[in-house]
Amino acid sequence: MDINLEGRVAVVTGGSRGIGAAIAKAYAEAGAKVVITARKPEGLEKAVAEIGGDVHAIAAHAGKAEDAERVVAETVEKFGRLDVLVNNAATNPYMGPVIDAELPAWDKTFEVNLRGPLVWAQAAYRGWMKEHGGSILNVSSIDGLRAGGPLAIYGVTKSALIFLSQQLATEVGPNVRVNVIAPGLVKTDFARALWEGAGEDAKYPWPLQRLGRPDDIANAALYLASDAASWVTGNVFVVDGGASLGGPFSS
């Protein structure tokens, strides 16, 4: 399938590394102009150089409404449109049972992982998509599909993000589509604690037996942003090598 994003403009939060950078690269290679955001300017500058293509950086905090509004306004002013929003930024300051969690960790995780996607979706919708259409893609996790994993608060936020995405899909159609990608365990710095030490040739207890790569998620994100997915909204695309069929649940 030849997917072309020529003439499109995308914003990818958490775009300086890992899955976000891979999505930005896939979009740029398909012809889109891409704005990536993250908190640290130095990380953004490095990412722009590594990704290549028509990629631009704006420093912003994923959980702050004022930053979302600023980035959307700057994007529309610079490029004249905003067709695709990818809410990829996430945090996970706590690993362990919810019952033992400190409230500051709970609040921080919800601010970035759930409040963040809402405020960015609102900013994109009000700033461009309500009148012109577009696509919103929220990056969740297979930890949001069932309880019992080690990343308890993270999983709660990712489960809520799925519901939020489906609710938004019912509200903003037919001109705006909202979908979700739920990755499994992907080899990124964000998930390093879950895979480090296993070895390069490690086989994992799920059908495809390997870790995910950022490109695995980027390929799904490219499809969902394109016209090939023009009749797809409110869906959760699981990209996990079969991990959700059984075995440890990690992301």
What percent of the chain stands above pLDDT 70?
92
Reported as a pLDDT band with limits 50, 70 and 90, residue 212 is confident
For the chain, report the end-to-end CA distance as a whole number of angstroms: 28
248: pLDDT strictly greater than 50: no
Q: Counting Cβ atoms within 10 Å, is residue 108 exposed (0-12), middle (13-18) or buried (19+)?
A: middle
pLDDT digits (tens, 9 = 90+) for 3-43: 999 999 999 999 999 999 999 999 999 999 999 999 999 99
pLDDT digits (tens, 9 = 90+) for 116-157: 999 999 999 999 999 999 999 999 999 999 888 888 999 999
Reported as a pLDDT band with limits 50, 70 and 90, residue 250 is very low
pLDDT reported for residue 198? 64
Q: Catalytic residue at 125?
A: no
Q: Which tops the pLDDT comparison, 248 or 11?
A: 11
Two tokens, residue 165: 């995405």
Distance CA 87, CA 139 (A): 6
pLDDT digits (tens, 9 = 90+) for 75-111: 999 999 999 999 999 999 988 999 999 999 999 999 9
Task: Output the pTM of the full model.
Answer: 0.92
Distance CA 92, CA 210 (A): 23
pLDDT reported for residue 206? 80
Query: 180 with 249: CB under 8 angstroms?
Result: no
Type and span of the H or E element at 215: helix 214-225
Domain 9-241 fold: Rossmann fold (3.40.50)
**Mean pLDDT calculated for residue range 166-186:** 96
HEC sequence for 53-117? CCEEEEECCCCCHHHHHHHHHHHHHHHCCCCEEEECCCCCCCCECHHHCCHHHHHHHHHHHHHHH
Name the catalytic one among 27, 94, 154, 204: 154
Distance CA 210, CA 5 (A): 30
Q: Which residue has the tokens 């740029």?
A: 28
Type and span of the H or E element at 244: none
